[in-house]
Structure 1
């Protein structure tokens, strides 16, 4: 359920973000880039896969907004865009608060029911 165009756009961005983070290799790339920029070649050295395969993972991360590529002489280093991670963390925290409130309400209701049985 969305609230208009902005809600749909936000939902699509979150979908892309969580889909990108749903893969272990991409999560590892994000973790590596949190330490600083790296080229595709530098990132590919860590994996038993081709540079093309690593490049495809990076493209998914780029589409989600988690990674961007700059220009430095002849290379295009990848860099993490932490603002996108903050958007995911914000959504997770909001969901956590909602579920914590629901659990508190359930506990209160159960306590009320138990008090009624104990009489």
Structure 2
């Protein structure tokens, strides 16, 4: 066994050790489909702030989770799971829904892209909406969609008011929208490409959304 193989084996052993705790496994389970703030994790698990901070530090040290500052309320952060660190270890429980609703603030980029990507990957239909819809879809979103064979040329931002039904799986794809929907089932903390405005920013958002959709779509079943 060469040095590289030994280092890889030691890294695997550290990840297994980090997961050899029921509380940390519960954190991983909760993050397996979406991002959560430390406060949301603490509420769902029923754990003190200090103890949760300890567990998150262990998971972060081994590259299993990472934290990023909210683009909405800058005092908040979101914890996300790095799926590459847990290949084959995250439980793939199923979710029943009649529809998936992607929500962001303006419904001009991330939620529109997520809807288009989802509808190409799942028989469960998806729509999108915004908490404060813009006048039009961002040109950068239309362009990045076209580069991937998706058509957003006729897409129009819509308000989330009155769109969401009890049987929907709601996924917020921007921090501001999530912070207006505290009971949202799932959250994906995707940076706003409109803020950057470059084609690279839109490409990065598309890649992140595509990766998230491809991981989640096989777990969502069309409810009767």
TM-score bracket, shorter-length normalisation? 0.5 to 0.7
From 58, 67, 70, the equivalent of 2:68 is: 70
Q: Per-residue CA shift, 1:87-109, capped at 9, x if unaligned?
A: 769xxxxxxxxxxxxxxxxxxxx
Give the distance between the partners of 1:84 and 1:37, measured in 2 at CA.
Answer: 16
Which residue of structure 2 lines up, in the alignment, with residue 100 of structure 1?
none
Give the distance between the partners of 1:14 and 1:68, measured in 2 at CA.
Answer: 18
Give the distance between the partners of 1:55 and 1:26, measured in 2 at CA.
Answer: 11
Shift of 1:63: 1.4
Deviates more, 1:44-53 or 1:80-89: 80-89
**More strand per residue: 1 or 2?**
2
Give the distance between the partners of 1:8 and 1:71, measured in 2 at CA.
Answer: 35
Q: What is the TM-score when the length of structure 2 is the normalising length?
A: 0.36
Which residue of structure 1 lines up, in the alignment, with residue 40 of structure 2?
42
Give the distance between the partners of 1:64 and 1:87, measured in 2 at CA.
Answer: 17
**More helix per residue: 1 or 2?**
1
* Shift in CA distance, 87/16, structure 1 to aligned 2, threshold 3 Å: farther
* Shift in CA distance, 84/52, structure 1 to aligned 2, threshold 3 Å: same
Matched, 1:32 2:30: yes
Number of equivalenced pairs: 87
Matched, 1:81 2:79: no
Runs of 4+ residues over 6 Å off in structure 1: none
Q: Per-residue CA shift, 1:1-38, capped at 9, x if unaligned?
A: xx222112211211111011111111110000012111
Larger radius of gyration: 1
Which residue of structure 2 lines up, in the alignment, with residue 103 of structure 1?
none
Q: What is the TM-score when the length of structure 1 is the normalising length?
A: 0.65
Give the distance between the partners of 1:48 and 1:32, measured in 2 at CA.
Answer: 13
Secondary structure in 1 matching 2:47 = coil
Give the distance between the partners of 1:87 and 1:40, measured in 2 at CA.
Answer: 25
